[in-house]
Structure 1
């Protein structure tokens, strides 16, 4: 394992959000989304793919996984194998995975923009769907959990810390 250098990133405080439940949930989700994308952005190859723990978790794989979680939750896409989502394709660069994640977030936000009632189900014609509230809460939990993993993995790679 390389000797980490001490590098600090600017630490972003939690978001100031609007008054409604939906505005608050979306602000915190967007905060976490931006945080994990920044954590992966600029991480060096091949360390970004190198497992940092015995389970095989790596920084690039975490963001790849979150792309699939966003697609499944907000866009209704099916995922054939959740374990395989934790590995980015060999041909994918860091920039590719970050761009794909950000594009997926934009698409998910476009769906959310059409959902005024947090208690209403997400639009999924012909299939049962979770409520907007459940989906936002789940993504906050999922993204926050993996952002914490990413913090540790990035620090192991090059000493970078902060959100």
Structure 2
């Protein structure tokens, strides 16, 4: 996938293509990392590159379950007290998890999303709104599928930016040289594709 999104045919194509681009950018931050590096939390936050990929995978899977009405939002009173601790675990790449494993899961979720959205005739179809989550308003009963896709683009882009910062702290690699390495760009006077040190 190139550094910019290709021209899009319509709204559905645009939403899915921009989401795919943000997934690609997030994955770039993991290029060439070992499992140990993917677990590192090199800033003051508890975030790691592997943990971010695990988190966005889980988030996208939950939203697609909501689109298919497989998952009912919990009322506020039913959300367990341990939910905050469990959410933090969702941002960590565990010792028994691998970067290749979370990347494979992310690829699988991406294919599922493409298939699900491709089968929806009307992107205005309502999706039940989450309940009891402070960052979602309590007065919305549902949002359209297009809102879910825009939200996934926003969520993925936010975490792709986090991953860029983490990666730079790990080994100094930045987004454009990583993209050049992954996509096989030639060396230019102003840009050298990333290469492992040593």
Measured against the shorter chain, the TM-score band is 0.7 to 0.9
Bigger shift: residues 74-83 or 148-157: 74-83
Q: Equivalences for 1:112-131 in 2 at 5 Å?
A: 112-122=117-127, 130-131=143-144
Structure number with greater Rg is: 2
Q: Equivalences for 1:84-163 in 2 at 5 Å?
A: 84-122=89-127, 130-161=143-174, 162=176, 163=179
Counterparts of 1:98 and 1:129, CA distance in 2: 30
Aligned to 2:44: 54
Bigger relative contact order (CA 8 A; separation at least 6): 1
Contact 2:51 2:90 in 1 (8 A): yes
Normalization by structure 1: what TM-score?
0.81
State how many pairs are aligned.
150
Counterparts of 1:154 and 1:52, CA distance in 2: 9
Unaligned runs of 5+ in 2: 74-78, 129-140, 180-198
Q: Which runs of 4+ in 1 moved over 4 A?
A: 77-80
Unaligned runs of 5+ in 1: 1-10
Aligned to 1:18: 8
* RMSD between aligned residues: 2.4
Normalization by structure 2: what TM-score?
0.67
